[in-house]
Amino acid sequence: EGGEVLRGAALETSVGPVRLWSAEEPWLYTLVVRLEDDKGAVTDVEALRVGFRRVEIEGNRLLINGSAPYFHGVNRHEHDERTGKYCSLDAMLRDLRLLKQHNFNAVRCSHYPNRSLWYTLCDAYGLYVVDEANIETHGLALEANEALLCNAPDWTQAYQERMERMVLRDRNHACVFMWSLGNEAAYGRAHDVMYAWLKQNDPSRPVHYESCGGAPATDVLCP
């Protein structure tokens, strides 16, 4: 009825020297946040495992904590041969162990954000993750075309909301080192809007979009 239903607060703090997170050494810390009322009584407590790492692009090199790792990665669909699109904890752990046993260190969530638990496990086990928005118009021409959905003003908000939901949910995971705007959804003005929002709201990660070609809405060129 017009009343306030949600209220938040922002704060900044500094921490001392930390061990940096990487796929090779997935070092995590436990962040505990307590909410107190005006009398000092604790009303809520949340604990979150967090990692500290730095992602940069220098010239044509992508750096993690100042070093250029060799990315040995795969596309992974969230699918189980027995349960379909539901992946249990055991199924995720099986995938992670197989990836690690075969010396993979990176995974692209093709072509949609995965279950939240997947990112928690990747934080703990050590996998670099390209988190991909669930945007795909497979089969449409990749060249510029005003008739494409990505150039339709009525669809721009839908494109952006799918990407924003992913970022707001997954941005605190150390394993996520790159955002992806989607897969094979041609290229148009909606992608420029999405890219600009990402650069304003999370400049700490590069952006990937495989259908961009030489267009500016990506930091990584794909074959």
Instruction: For 109-121, write each residue's pLDDT tens digit.
Output: 989 999 999 999 9
Q: Give the total number of structural domains in the chain.
A: 1
Residues in the chain, how many? 223
Task: Look up residue 91 and give its two tokens.
Answer: 């199924």
Is 32 among the domain residues?
A: no
Rounded Cα distance, 12 and 150, in Å: 37
Is 82 among the domain residues?
A: yes
Is 200 among the domain residues?
A: yes
Is 45 among the domain residues?
A: no
Q: Whole-prediction pTM value?
A: 0.89
Least confident of 37-41, 145-149, 157-161: 145-149
Is 6 among the domain residues?
A: no
Residue indicated by tokens 């030489």: 214
Is 92 among the domain residues?
A: yes
Domain containing 108: what range?
Answer: 68-208
Any idea what the Cα angle at residue 110 is, between residues 104 and 113, rounded to 5°?
105
Is 222 among the domain residues?
A: no
Is 90 among the domain residues?
A: yes
The span from the first CA to the last CA of the chain, in angstroms, equals 52
Q: What is the CATH number of the domain that holds 101?
A: 3.20.20.80
Least confident of 65-74, 82-91, 127-136, 161-170: 82-91
